[in-house]
Amino acid sequence: KAGVTQTPRYLIKTRGQQVTLSCSPISGHRSVSWYQQTPGQGLQFLFEYFSETQRNKGNFPGRFSGRQFSNSRSEMNVSTLELGDSALYLCASTRTSGRGDTQYFGPGTRLTVL
Amino acid sequence: GQNIDQPTEMTATEGAIVQINCTYQTSGFNGLFWYQQHAGEAPTFLSYNVLDGLEEKGRFSSFLSRSKGYSYLLLKELQMKDSASYLCAVRDLGYGGSQGNLIFGKGTKLSVKP
């Protein structure tokens, strides 16, 4: 079974631009969560989508947004990029919302903002 | 508030045993996870505890005490390939049908020496 895929793997943008990242979950997984990982803050939760609905949101500004499509693929968008947005963005998928379900991570998109 | 503490770095010798501790204070608890992350790669799932006690999986074991807000990951017969960061994550209580978010510690970087 194919794992979680994320595109692109690497991205370089300049301040003020916007970016869209894509995530395809494991086949059959309906929940997709997004995380930001930086050396200083570690892994921080951005938001979770299930059946095209955002169910949870972390403490990030409104510049960070996302959506999920009917095939469970998800995108996240960051507008008006800032230098501090440089990070590894990880997507994780889960089969259901059951208590014992494990999140499986994709390889991530490394975003560099210049 | 949400707080997860684990040592920043540890060093151990090949063939030895190492214990990585994690203490947590979260507003809710819906399970504790350990992930392994090699440099430049995505986190991979190692173990899950929701009830008190020890979960063993090959060379890896994880222990949980909910009353103490404490967990540890035990790695036996260390190998060079175990050099990685080990992330402790607590899943909080979800709402709206969600399983809850994963709140990560900043990770423990383990170096295995020959």
- Counting Cα atoms < 13 Å in the Cβ hemisphere of A109 gives 26
Q: What is the pLDDT of residues A48-80, one digit of tens each?
A: 998 899 988 888 999 999 999 999 999 999 999
Across the range B29-40, mean pLDDT stands at 92
Helices assigned H by DSSP within A4-114: none
The alpha-carbon gap from B93 to the nearest alpha carbon of chain A, in Å, equals 10
Helices assigned H by DSSP within B36-93: none
Q: Which of B30, B42, B102 is opposite residue A99, by nearest beta carbon?
A: B30
Across the range A11-39, mean pLDDT stands at 95
Mean pLDDT of chain A: 92
Task: With CB atoms and an 8 Å threshold, state whether A105 touches B96.
Answer: no
pLDDT at residue A94 in the model: 87
Q: Is the dihedral of CA A89, B111, B81, B87 positive or negative?
A: negative
pLDDT at residue A26 in the model: 94
Residue A99: which pLDDT band, with cuts at 50, 70 and 90?
low
The alpha-carbon gap from B3 to the nearest alpha carbon of chain A, in Å, equals 12
CA B80 to chain centre: 19
Across the range B45-71, mean pLDDT stands at 94
Q: What is the pLDDT of residues A76-86, one digit of tens each?
A: 999 999 999 99
pLDDT at residue B43 in the model: 93
Respond yes or no on whether the N-terminal peptide bond of residue B7 is cis (omega within 30° of 0).
Answer: no
pLDDT at residue B95 in the model: 62
Q: Read off the tokens for B30.
A: 């819906």
pLDDT at residue B2 in the model: 78
pLDDT at residue B99 in the model: 63
Checking if the pLDDT of A109 tops 60, the result is yes
CA closest to B89 among chain A residues: A43
Mean pLDDT of chain B: 92
pLDDT at residue A20 in the model: 98
pLDDT at residue B98 in the model: 60
pLDDT at residue A62 in the model: 95
The alpha-carbon gap from B92 to the nearest alpha carbon of chain A, in Å, equals 11
List CB contacts of A25: < 8 A, sequence separation 6 or more: A4, A31, A32, A72, A73, A74, A91, A93
> Could you tell me if A89 and A109 are in contact, meaning their C-beta atoms sit under 8 angstroms apart?
yes
Q: Which amino acid is at A26?
A: I
Residue B62: which pLDDT band, with cuts at 50, 70 and 90?
very high
